[in-house]
Amino acid sequence: MKSSIYVAIPVMLVLSLLQTAVFPHFSFLRLAPQLPLLVALAWGLRRGLDEGMMWAFVGGICMDLFSIAPVGLTALGYMATVTAVLWLHQAFPTSHIIIPVLLAALATAIYLIVTLLFLRLFGQIASFQIITNLWPLILLNAVAMLPIYWLLYGLERMLRPRSLEF
């Protein structure tokens, strides 16, 4: 885990920059996948809750650097989401195709609800009618999760190959 932080910081900074500066110009239906959240979730699925939480915290803080929301709100939302989803992941069978997609959809819904609750608490939004428009984002993140998960799966296998036992 100690060496993972050295990878998480630059990766999450680049993803946050892409999320806030590039994706708004190339979005589909004015939506873009939430890459930092999906990468933190995929890393947590591959490496466990501790590393998933650390990546979620780093990704949330990086997103907060480029946001007008209260500082720490995104980090808190990412951490709560990754914790809840990875905790629920223990109840599901192991699958490298279906489960990551379903968990990404669930994570997106949890993150959006938690964030909207905190924004409402801080007086940043007036109503919850925006929730009805979030289904396309949930579907987009679910579709985007599979390539992200497989990319991290391949990267992990390349960087940490399994040792042979005789």
Q: Nearest CA to 35 among 52, 59, 61, 51?
A: 59
Q: What's the pLDDT band for 157 if we cut at 50, 70, 90?
A: confident
DSSP letter for 68, please.
S
Q: How many residues does the chain have?
A: 166
pTM for this structure? 0.89
Q: Which two tokens stand for residue 99?
A: 């489960």
Which of 58, 94, 74, 118 lies closest to 50, judged by CA? 58
For the segment 25-29, the average pLDDT, to the nearest whole number, is 73
pLDDT in tens, 73-119: 999 999 999 999 999 988 877 777 899 999 999 999 999 989 888 88
- How far, in Å, CA of 135 to CA of 111, rounded? 13
Amino acid identity for residue 54 in this structure? M
Classified as helix, coil or strand, 117 is helix
- 40, 52 contact by CB (below 8 A): yes
Query: In this predicted model, what pLDDT tens digit does every residue of 144-156 receive, in sequence order?
Result: 999 999 998 888 7
Q: Encode pLDDT of 38-47 as tens digits.
A: 999 999 998 8
Highest mean pLDDT among 11-15, 65-69, 160-164: 11-15
> Using an 8 Å Cβ cutoff, are 60 and 19 in contact?
no
In the chain, DSSP finds a helix count (H) and a strand count (E) of 6, 0
The reported pLDDT for the residue numbered 127 is 67
Domains of the chain and any CATH numbers: 4-156 (1.10.1760)
